[in-house]
A = this chain, B = another copy of it.
C-alpha cells in the first residue's frame, strides 16, 4: 500500500443517501487481490445522466461507448458499472467487445435497455479485460445494492489513490432539501495505466438532461479542467452526473443548486490534486490582469505544469524566477515591466524586477507551508483564472519509474 498523502483530508465525508440510486461493490479479481474492484450504481426510472470525457484521441472503448449514450431516454432508469485494475484501453476490437458484453449483462440484470448502461474501466492499459470475471459477479452486486453504499463504491474504483474521495452539499430549493453526493478516483490528470480520473456525482434534483449537461460542462471548466498533476491526459477520464428527480425541480442556470454542484466538483477536484502522485504541497495559482480569461488560463497552466516551478516547490525554494520563465513561455501576451508576483500576501516582484520590500527569508519561510498560493498579476487587463496543482518530488519519480518493475 502506498503511504497516505500528507495532503489527505482528515476523513472520508459522511455522504447522504440520494433517493433513487443504490450502490454495491464487490471483489471480482480483475487484477487486484483482497479488495473490491467493481462498483455498480443503479438509478431509478426518471433519472437523467450528463457526462464529460477525456478528449484524448486514444480514449478507451468504454469512454467512446458512454459518449454515444448520453442524452438517451430517461424513462427507464440507468446503471453505471465501473471496474478498477484494467483500463481496457488500447485493446483493439476485443476491448469494444468487452464493453458490449458487460453492457448486455448489466442490461439483463437490471432490466434496462443497453443504451442506459454506462461503464468505465481504470487500471493497466493494453491488456485484455477479463470481462467474464465482472459479469460473473453481477448477481452478487445486485443483491448487495443499498442506498448507503456510495462509500464502498468510492473505495472499489481506487487504483493508486492513497485515499477514497467524496464530497457532498445540500441546498434547500422550494422548501425541499436537494442533496448532491459525489465520489472520485485519480492521482491527477495523469497516466493511462494507474491514475485515470473517474468521477460520479448523484443528486435527487429533478432536472432535464440538456440543462444538466450544460451545467456540468461549464462547471467542469472551473473545477476538473483547472487541475493538473503532470499535464499528462488519461485515456479513460470520465465524469458522470446523474439526477434522480426525487426532490425539487431545477429549471434554470445560476441558482443555489448549480453553486452547490460546483462546490462538490471543486472539492473532489482538489482532493485529486491532494492525492497527486508523490505530492507534498497543494498549490493554487491565481492569475489576474491578463488580456483575457483564456490568456490567464494559459499562463496559470504554464506555471502549474512547469517541472521547474514544481521541483522548486518540492524543495521549498522561493525561486520566483522560474515563475517568470513559465509566464514567458505560456504564449499569452506579457509585459515584463507590468508583471507582479506574490507568494500568498507577500509581494515578491513587481514592475519587471524583485520588489524592494521582498526578502528571500520571507519567501523561504512561506514555502515551508503545505498549501501555497502563487499570485501572478499581468498588469494588462481584467482576464483571470485560478488552477491547482501539486509539487514534483522524488516520490513521483519512484512511483512512475519503478511502477511495473
Contacts and interface: CB of A to CB of B under 8 A. Distances in A.
Given A324-B89, A328-B235, A393-B397, A317 B403 contact: yes
Given A402-B315, A404-B317, A230 B125 contact: no
A21 to B, nearest CB: 32
B59 A91 contact: no
A331 B55 CA distance: 9
A324 B91 CA distance: 11
A contact residues, range: 35 or more
Interface in A221-255: 230-235
Stoichiometry, as copies per complex, reads 2
Contacts of A320: 126
Contact of A349 (B90, B332, B336, B402): B90
Nearest to A398: B394
Interface stretch (A23-31, A100-108, A141-149, A304-312): A304-312
A352 interface: yes
Contact of A232 (B58, B306, B337, B394): B306
Given A93-B352, A307-B307, A322 B57 contact: no
A353 B61 CA distance: 12
A271 B54 CA distance: 37
A195 to B, nearest CB: 9
A126 B58 contact: no
Interface of A: 54, 56-59, 89-95, 124-126, 190-193, 230-235, 305-308, 311-312, 314-317, 319-322, 324-337, 339, 349, 351-354, 392-394, 396-398, 400-405
9 contacts: A58-B334, A90-B324, A126-B324, A235-B328, A307-B396, A314-B397, A315-B403, A393-B401, A396-B397
